[in-house]
Amino acid sequence: MPEPSARWSAVVLGGGDPGDPFAAAHGVKVKPLIPVGGQPMAAHVLRALRGSGLIERIAYVGPTTPEIDAVIDLRVTDVGTLLGNLEAGVEALSTAGLRPGERVLVATADIPMLTAAQVRDVLLGAPADAALVYPVVRREVCEAEYPGVKRTYARLKDGTFTGGNLFLLDPALIGQFLPRLRDVLAARKAPLRLAALIGPGILLRLLTGRLTVAALEERVSALLEVPARALVTPHAAVGTDVDKEEDLALAAAHTGRGP
């Protein structure tokens, strides 16, 4: 079977709160610069993307180091918000030149246990007909790979899942769904406002564990007005970011292992 040609660009979100006490405790500006195995954790993510053989160009949003600069193509200034940084990164790639139909992988810079083989698996498994693909990981997969790890999970009829820290999108449609996504994120801590956005029936089924993955895909697609799909991945590293000292110790223990 012939090797697939590279067809993806990537945005890596390496910004953060300059006042983050976790980063300050390790003597760096933002969390992705905290060392793991002697390298900024962001460098491990970037090497996984490059090693996949499917990423042609990487735009990195946030402060960098020489190790990071060596493996990126475009450096983008942190604008202060997650969605703002996403938009800035995609715009930088578009300005540099994206091929017609080329899709973009977006990854946070705080998943240092991610491997090149896992990146390949996610990219090659992504539905080609979706404008937005969001990988999710089953709880039992996370707990088997990293016993004792604490993550936030959602209980659906199909199983209990945690969200991945990377996703895939069609950059041509970002202007269409980003405003709606911004509304959803702004409402996530206001139940009545969130219910008005996603529908009280959907919210009730979600809260009671009766919502299916297919129904959630259908509602998110309608809400964002683009085809959206979940991708159930067997790779716990996709859903395991580093937020605290225990996570950092876990990453230090696992970084450098083969896929």
In a domain, 1, yes or no: no
Residues of the domain holding 24: 8-254
- Please answer whether residues 238 and 114 qualify as being in contact, where contact means their C-beta atoms are separated by less than 8 angstroms: yes
Q: Distances in Å between the alpha carbon of 25 and those of 22, 41, 112, 242?
A: 5, 15, 19, 14
Residue 216: inside a domain: yes
* pLDDT per residue as tens digits for the range 188-218: 666 677 677 778 888 788 888 899 999 999 9
* Total domains in the fold of the chain: 1
CA of residue 42 relative to chain centroid, distance: 13
Position 259 in a domain: no
136 found inside a domain: yes
Q: What phi-psi label fits residue 148: left (phi over 0), alpha (psi between -120 and 50 degrees) or beta?
A: left
- 68's enclosing H/E stretch is helix 66-69
The stretch 23-33 carries a mean pLDDT of 95
User: Is 65 inside a domain boundary?
Assistant: yes
Whether 2 is covered by a domain: the verdict is no
For the domain that residue 126 is a member of, what is the CATH number?
A: 3.90.550.10
In contact, 243 and 151? CB cutoff 8 Å:
no
The pTM of the full predicted model, rounded to 2 decimals, is: 0.91
The residue type found at 165 is: N
pLDDT tens track for 48-98: 999 999 999 999 999 999 999 999 999 999 999 999 999 999 999 999 999
